[in-house]
Amino acid sequence: MREEENILKKVGTQNPFTVPEGYFERLTSEVMAFIPDETPTKVVKMPTLWDRMKPWAYMAAMFVGAAMLIRIGSTSNEPTITNQLALDDNELEMEYISTIIDGAMMDDYSLYMFLSDMNEENY
């Protein structure tokens, strides 16, 4: 507490900041001097053909991309007619057998008989 009193005695309690004389009377006129008299005119730019077509081009690109993603995602491993014609007879028979086994279209005995008949034909 004593230290504060020593500082106050040295510095004093008077406000060291003052406003220059006539500052507020001149302030308005000085600020108005910096503002330009002319109001700027806004230049209106006409949109080009590309500016008008851009949303349509973006939308078309989006649909093409979506169609490609759907096409890639929906491809199945089922052989097409062209691929089936390219397979030889043994591969077609094996594919037929796997289809029968996977689809449970034939019981075990019938499958055994089919396979034994197939082996007899080959030998």
Going by pLDDT thresholds of 50, 70 and 90, the confidence category of residue 51 is very high
Q: Cα–Cα distance between 33 and 61 in angstroms, integer?
A: 54
What was the pLDDT predicted at 120?
60
pLDDT at 110 over 80: no
Reported in sequence order, the residue ranges of the chain that DSSP labels E, i.e. its strands, are none
Q: Cα–Cα distance between 108 and 105 in angstroms, integer?
A: 10
Per-residue pLDDT averaged across 64-91, rounded? 70
pTM for the structure as a whole:
0.32
- Give me the residue spans of the domains in the chain: 78-123
Any residues with CB less than 8 A from the CB of 84 and at least 6 apart, and which?
92
Going by pLDDT thresholds of 50, 70 and 90, the confidence category of residue 7 is confident
Residue 79 burial (CB count, 10 A): 14
What was the pLDDT predicted at 123?
47
